[in-house]
Amino acid sequence: MHALTRQGLRAYLDPQNVHSSRQAAAQGLVRGGIQILRNPSGLIGAAIIVLLVLAAILAPLLATHNPYAQNLQQVLLPPGADHWFGTDNLGRDIYSRIVYGARATLTIVCIVSVIVGPIGIIIGATAGYFGGLVDTVLMRITDVFLSLPSLVLALAFAAALGPGLDNAIIAISFATWPPIARLARAEAMTIRKSDYVAAARMMQASDLRIILRQIIPMCTLSVVVRLTLNMAGVILVAAGLGFLGVGAQPPLPEWGAMIAVGRQYMLDSWWTVTFPGLAIVAVSLAFNLFGDALRDTLDPRSAR
């Protein structure tokens, strides 16, 4: 990295003057990033995602009230100067709860990606690389999981594991790895026929080494894109679990669970369900927009 400080950022990113593969990779990343942000949907998506991250980190500063503090004198107040989004059935400030709710959403998104990405890649790359019986067995298992809609699968796991945010994350992970494994398998099947894999094999590299060093790095990019696109779905499933009472449990501020509670009062107090719902729509829309832009940038063919 010392090259960076010596030459300055502008020179480091000059495509005419590339010295290392790391520099080339950094340039590619910056160019791709700029291209995504030039795309209006990519820009809007990225802005909302940044907002989500900021809300999660700075929640104590952004919130106007304690999200857990009940005030039974101020129950179900409509939106106003003191409570921007009104109060819920226990007099808690809905705006502050939505800000803190960003933490639950961000936790779900991050942990599900961290669990599902590697599992999907390992299963998919192994199946695609070996082919034959290994492939058949692993893909049969994947098919079984794919034979259920992801919310239903997550519900079944959540029912068995019991309610709670942790269990909801595990349940969602169980429900969302199969498409990732499918994708990684398809990539691995084309990569294993390439010359450099043949070369590695000729040099007596073990299967494990080839999968880890040659196959998996090449699958990673498309898996990351797919994960981003799937995040919108993950957020909706998580909100659905919260709404059905098997996800995050009260009093934890989680948007789906907030809607579930607000539902009992919605006919007279529309704000109890409206604002948490808008938060869910905004974030899932953001991942859809950002994922679309990411895919268009990396695969211009699909952008047509």
Partner 1 sequence: MTDDIGVTPAGLRKWSPSALRAGRAIGVLSSIALTLMGLLLLTFLLARFLPADPVYAIIGDNADRDTYERVYRELGLDQPVYQQFFTYALKVVTGDLGMSHITGMPVVRDLLEVVPATLELAIVAIILGSAAGIPLGVLAGTNQNKPIDHVVRIIGLIGYSTPAFWAGMGILIIFYAQLGWIGGAGRQDPYFFGEVPTVTRLVTVDALLAGRVDIFLDALRYLVAPALILAYNALAYISRMTRSFMLEQMNQEYVVTAKAKGLSRGKVIWAHAFVNIRVQLVTIVALTFGAMLEGAVLVETVFAWPGLGQYLTRGLMFRDMNVVLGSVLVIGIFFIILNMLADFAYRQLDPRTR
In angstroms, give the least distance from the CB of 139 to partner 1.
Answer: 7
- Nearer Cβ to partner 1 (23/272): 272
In angstroms, give the least distance from the CB of 214 to partner 1.
Answer: 23
In angstroms, give the least distance from the CB of 162 to partner 1.
Answer: 7
Q: How many degrees, rounded to 5, is the angle at CA 39 between CA 37 and CA 43?
A: 45
- Nearer Cβ to partner 1 (219/232): 232
In angstroms, give the least distance from the CB of 100 to partner 1.
Answer: 19
**Alpha-carbon separation of residue 90 from 77, 80, 93, 97, 276 (angstroms):** 10, 17, 9, 12, 16
In angstroms, give the least distance from the CB of 47 to partner 1.
Answer: 15
- Nearer Cβ to partner 1 (219/280): 280
Asked if residue 228 lies in contact with residue 146, where contact means CB atoms within 8 angstroms, the answer is no
Our CA dihedral for 77, 83, 88, 93, rounded to 10 degrees, sits at -150
Burial 78-106 (b: 16+ CB within 10 A, else e): ebeeebbbbbbebbbbbbbbbbbbbbbbb
Going by C-alpha positions, the residue among 46, 18, 8 that lies closest to residue 228 is: 46
How far apart CA 279 and CA 189 sit, in angstroms, is 40
- Nearer Cβ to partner 1 (244/298): 244
- Nearer Cβ to partner 1 (12/179): 179
Q: How many degrees, rounded to 5, is the angle at CA 225 between CA 221 and CA 118?
A: 65
In angstroms, give the least distance from the CB of 118 to partner 1.
Answer: 22
- Nearer Cβ to partner 1 (3/159): 159
How far apart CA 287 and CA 294 sit, in angstroms, is 10
In angstroms, give the least distance from the CB of 241 to partner 1.
Answer: 10
Residues of the shown chain interacting with partner 1 in the complex, contacts defined by CB under 8 A: 136, 139-141, 143-153, 155-162, 232, 236, 239-240, 243-246, 256, 259, 263, 266-267, 270, 273-274, 277, 280-281, 284-285, 288-289, 304
- Nearer Cβ to partner 1 (65/182): 182
**All residues at 6 or more sequence positions from 274 whose CB lies less than 8 Å from its CB, including other chains:** none
